Structure 1
Amino acid sequence: MSTIENSSGTRELAGKRALVTGGTRGIGAAIVRRLLDAGAAVLTTARSETGTAPEEAAFVAADVRTRAGAEAIAAAAQELAAVPTVAPPFLHYTTAKAALENYSRGLAAELAPAGIRVNTVSPGRTATPGGEATREQWARLDAGTDQVDTTAPMGRDGRPDDIAHAVHFLVSPGASWLTGSGLVVDGGEFPRG
């Protein structure tokens, strides 16, 4: 697998390995490109080969929501000695995301002595074809109810590169003391308190 220098001319992630689920389009594809540009070896997955993974990335077609898919991803990760750094509707999605965040905190504590960091990223409303399709589906389900403005306080939807830059930070040396954390990248969309 070849590496590409990033725009600053450094390869700060050379020798690092990452697993990015959903890495053939939208946010996932932007993350894959960003990590490859910084020198990381990347394994990416998607349910099908409908998107295009960068040729520098290893790819496995698998549905992470199924046992067979998870096993295929685990086998590919073991083969490449990749370790997860990431982490891409409705109730089952939010439930799975919450479970992933909780699992990741436990996994971070377990793997920290080996120097392996585990963090999650929770993107907000992001301008991607998949995101638009999901919002259209939600709008159809909400038809007839009072709709509220879902624009983030920062006044725009996120871009895939916004999320990719956040992931790049999490896997960079600048975040070397960060593990077991969940980074919310949503332009202030969801209130926290």
Structure 2
Amino acid sequence: DSAESSAAAPLYVYESKVHCANVLLSMDEQRQRGILCDVTVLVEGREVRAHRAVLAASSRYFLQALLGNDGSAGDAEPIITLPDKVTAKGFAPLLQFAYTAKLVLSRENIHEVILCADALGVHNLEDSCFRFLQAQLQNDGQHSSNGDFFLYLHFLSSVHGGSNSGTIHTFIYLVHFLYSLLFYAFIVLTLWSNSVQNGFMRGFMDQFYCL
């Protein structure tokens, strides 16, 4: 009877909404202070200290590298040398994103960040880049660069990959073709409009001189 009563006792679960974020923030403070880190990353000859668990959970590249390194050198701390196409300028915002979920982008670094994210297989970045580019387009209006839009499309094709990569690449080419078509149509219409206006003005001036 006691076993049945204990089994029927209600269970209460408390879930903190800030625990996970606070744990990562604490680990980021450790990283910045260089304490309790267990992996060294070499990027463009610079040493960056971090935590294996955070890197492996945030990146396919680091997960594979760390699994392949596990136990190969005894208790020695692993050292991971990043590919040449991964730059310090592009990697730093991604490392910060892994710890804080905040991606700091600018028009000066967005290209390198996207290329590095593609090379490292960083997770959960497409929405971040989209929000940034959308905000820039809204703020800059007609002064925004169309290159940013196509850069974002390229990023989508990289991060999604898999079975959808062919569809996404086809979509990119279609959008690029339509954009080029509209651009050339605009040029033709502009030239035609100018020619029509010039012809009208010549006819008007001829009528004026006849008077």
TM-score range, shorter chain: under 0.3
Who wins on radius of gyration, i.e. which is larger?
A: 2
- Decide which structure has greater strand share: 1
TM-score, normalised to structure 1, is 0.27
Higher relative contact order (CA 8 A, sep 6+): 1
- Decide which structure has greater helix share: 2
